[in-house]
Amino acid sequence: MKRSHHVRVRDERSPSPRSLGWPPISIGRGRILLTLNQSRSVVVVPFLTFTVWVCAVESTILLAEKVFMGSVSLLEKILRRRSGRIYPCAPLVEDEELGTAAYPMVIVQIPMYNEKEVYHLSIGAACSLQWPADRLVVQVLDDSTAFFSSGVLQDLVQKCQKWLAKGVDLTYETRGDRRGYKAGALEGMKLSYFKECDYVAIFDADFQPESDFLIRTVPLFALVQARWKFVKANECLMTRMQEMSMDYHFKVEQESGSSAYAFFGFNGTAGVWRTHAINEAGGWKDRTTVEDMDLAIRATLLGWKFIYLGDVKVPIPSTFKAYRNQQHRWSCEPETLVWKIAMEIVNNKFLTQYIVILQKVSLWRKFYLMYNFFLVRRIIFHLVTFCYSSIVIPTLPFFPEVQIPFWSIGYIPIMITLLNCVGTPRSIHLVVLSFLFENVMSLHPSKVVIIGLLEVGRVNEWVVTKKLGPNPNMSQTGGCKFSWNAIAKYFTRFHLLELGVGIYLVVCTSYNYAHHKNYYFIFIYLQSLAFIIVGVGYVGIFIPNSK
C-alpha cells in the first residue's frame, strides 16, 4: 500500500513567521501572535492616531487661549488701563461731622489649622493695618487640634492679649471639629458682631498684608483680589518654577479675566469681599474644598463684578509634597464644582429663579466661565500637558505606523512654554527646566481631573499646606543610629508614581534610540530624567514627617 504524500502550499503573498525573523512556533502560539498583530492594526494604531490628533487640536486650543489672554494683558499695560484707572475711587478720609464713621466697618478673618510656625506673622500684620481702630475687627478662626502644644497655645493667647491692650478689636474663635474645613471656619461671619461689618478681608495664616492694604482695596467692587508676591522664590529651584507658574496666573490669567470679563476665580486669600455680595450669593458652602471658587461663581452669576488689584507679599510651599497636595485640591475640586452647579440648576425646583439670575450676566461672561475658566484651563490644560508629552509621544516609537504632526510637538509647545514665562522675565533662562517641571507636575492634576469629574477617591480631601516659617529646620538629626522610624522617614522622600513614569520613559527612550533614526529620544530622555529626579525627592526642600 502506497503512502500518500500531502504537500502544504503556502501563499507567497503573506510573509511566513520565519521570514519575519520569528522562531519556530506552535500553531496555538501562532494564532495568539496573529490575533495580537490584528489587534494592533485594527484597534491600537487607529486609537493612537485618533489620540494624537485630539491632543494636537487641544494643544492648538490651549495656545489660542494663552495668546488671547496674553494679548489682553499686554493691551492693558500699553493703554495703562489698570483697574485703579478704570474704577477710580477717592481715598477715604475722616469726615468733620461723622469722624471715623465715614469709614466702612471691616473685619479681617484669619483661618488657621496647626500652623504654629506662622500664625504670629499674619496676626501681627492684620492688627497693624491702617484703618480706624473702632472700624476694624480682627477675627482669628482656629481649627487647630491637639497638635498645638500648651506652650504654643499660651504664646498665641499672649500675642492676642498684647494687641488687645493696644486697642485692637481682636477675637479668637475655635470650633469643636473641622466640619467643612476652611468653609466651615469662615462661617464665623454668622456671629452677631459680624452683621455690623460691610467688608471682610481674608488672609491665610502665612500671609502678611502691607499696612495700606485696606486703604487701597476697600472702596472697590464686590471682590478685590490682590496678587501674591513671593518672598522665598530664590529658596530652591522648585520655588523658582512655582514663581513662574503663579506669576503667569496672576499677571495674565487673573488680569485678563478682570479686564475683559470682570470675573476670575477667587484665590481664597488676600482678597476683600463685600459682605452683601457673600450673603446674596448664599454664603460659604462646604460642598467642595474650593469654597473660594464656589462663592466667586455664584456671586458672578448674580451679576457682581470683580477686579484684580494690588500687591501682597506671601511665602509659597517649598516642599514637593506640600505643592503636590495643594495642586490636588486646586485641580480636582473645580470639576466636581462644575457638575454640582450644573445639576443644581437642572434639578432645582426654582429653575425660573436661575433663569432670571442668568439673564443678569452677559453672554460674554457666561462663555468665559464655561469655556476658558473651566474647559480649557482646568481640564484641557492638565490632560493634554501630561498625556501628550509623557504618554502618547514616548509610546509612538513602538508604533511607527502612527504619524505625528511636527508642529504639534515642536512649535506649539515652544510657544506655550514661552508664554508661560512672560510673567517672570528674570527666569527666562529656566524656560527648558520650567517646561520639564510643568510636565512632571501635570501628572497629578491630570489624574485628579478625572477623579473630580467622577467624584471618586480623594475627591474631597483637604491637606493643609505645610508652613515652614521664617527659619525652617531642614535637616534631620539623630546621627547614624539604626531605627525603623528613621528608615520609614527616609523613604517618605520617594514618590513612586513619578518614579514609575520615569522608568517607563527610560524604556521608551532606549527603544527609540535603538530602532529609530529620529531625535525624539533626546526629549524623552530629558523628560524621564525630570520624573526620576522628582521621584527620588531631589526637588524642593525635604522636611521629614514629624510626630
459 — alpha (psi -120 to 50), left (phi > 0) or beta?
Answer: alpha
Give which of 458, 455, 301 is closest to 373, Cα–Cα: 301
Side-chain-facing half-sphere of 32: CA atoms under 13 Å: 5
Contact 249, 257 (CB under 8 A): no
- Specify the pLDDT at position 201: 93
Contact 316, 242 (CB under 8 A): yes
Q: How many CB atoms lie within 10 A of CB 230?
A: 18
Q: What are phi and psi of 191, to 5 degrees?
A: -70, 155
Give which of 250, 158, 221, 244 is closest to 441, Cα–Cα: 244
CA distance linking residue 170 with residue 172, whole number of Å: 7
- Specify the pLDDT at position 174: 81
Q: Which sequence positions are flagged as catalytic? A: 143, 292
**10-residue averages of pLDDT along the chain (547 residues):** 46 49 57 76 89 93 92 82 57 67 90 78 88 91 69 73 87 79 77 85 85 83 81 73 84 87 84 90 81 85 81 51 52 60 52 54 78 83 86 90 87 89 85 87 76 56 50 43 55 82 93 81 88 79 48
110, containing H or E segment: strand 106-112
What one-character-per-residue DSSP string does 150-191 give?
HHHHHHHHHHHHHHHHTT-EEEEEE-SS-TTHHHHHGGGGGS
Contact 262, 305 (CB under 8 A): yes
Contacts of 399 (CB under 8 A, 6+ apart): 40, 44, 45, 48
Domain ranges (residues) in the chain: 79-364
Length of the chain: 547
Class of domain 79-364: alpha beta
- Specify the pLDDT at position 159: 76
DSSP single-letter state for residue 411: H
- Specify the pLDDT at position 202: 92
Q: How many CB atoms lie within 10 A of CB 42?
A: 10
- Predicted TM-score of the model (pTM): 0.77
